[in-house]
Amino acid sequence: MVILSNVICLIALVFAAISFFVKERNKLLVYQLICNFFYIASLVLLGAWTGAITMIVGMAFVATVFFLEKFDKPKSVWLLVALLGAMIAITALTWAGPISLLPFVSNLVFKWGTWQPSKKVFLCTQIFVSSVMIFYNMHYLLLSAVLIEVLALVIAVIALMELIRKNLEGDNMKIEKMFKKLKGHTADIAIFGGSGLENLIKLENSVKITYKQVGFKFAEVAGHSRCFEFGTFNGKKIVLVSRFHLYENGSPENMWILYELLNKLGVKTVIATTATGGVNPEFKSGDIMLIKDHINLSGTNPLIGHLPIEFVDMTNAYDKDLRDLVKKIARSLKIKLQEGVHIQTMGPTYETPAEVVFYQSIGGDSVSMSSAFGNICAKFHKMRFVAFASITNEAVTYDSPEITHEEVLRISELACSRLNKIIEKLIMKL
Of 224, 294, 375, 389, which residue is the catalytic one?
A: 224
Cβ–Cβ < 8 Å for 72, 26:
no
Active site residue 248: yes
Q: Are β-strands 227-233 and 236-241 bridged in parallel, bridged antiparallel, or unpaired?
A: antiparallel
Of 87, 255, 275, 415, which residue is the catalytic one?
A: 275
Of 19, 100, 137, 195, which residue is the catalytic one?
A: 195
- Using CA atoms, how far apart are residues 388 and 270, in angstroms rounded to an integer? 11
- Using CA atoms, how far apart are residues 188 and 239, in angstroms rounded to an integer? 8
Active site residue 204: no
Of 251, 405, 413, 424, which residue is the catalytic one?
A: 405
Active site residue 275: yes
Of 5, 36, 280, 370, which residue is the catalytic one?
A: 370
Q: CA dist 203 to 163, 229, 238, 417, 424, Å?
A: 41, 8, 8, 15, 11
Active site residue 247: yes
Provide the CB-side half-sphere exposure for 34 (13 A, CA).
17
Of 106, 107, 242, 245, which residue is the catalytic one?
A: 245
Of 149, 229, 248, 394, which residue is the catalytic one?
A: 248
Active site residue 255: no
Provide the CB-side half-sphere exposure for 399 (13 A, CA).
0
- Using CA atoms, how far apart are residues 407 and 88, in angstroms rounded to an integer? 56
Contacts of 118-122 with C-beta under 8 Å, sequence gap 24+, read 118/25, 118/28, 119/19, 119/20, 119/22, 119/28, 120/20, 122/16, 122/19, 122/20, 122/28, 122/31, 122/32
Of 118, 296, 298, 393, which residue is the catalytic one?
A: 393
Of 87, 145, 289, 369, which residue is the catalytic one?
A: 369
Active site residue 370: yes
Active site residue 306: no
Of 6, 41, 60, 247, which residue is the catalytic one?
A: 247
Cβ–Cβ < 8 Å for 342, 371:
yes
Q: Which residues are catalytic?
A: 195, 224, 245, 247-248, 275, 369-370, 393, 405
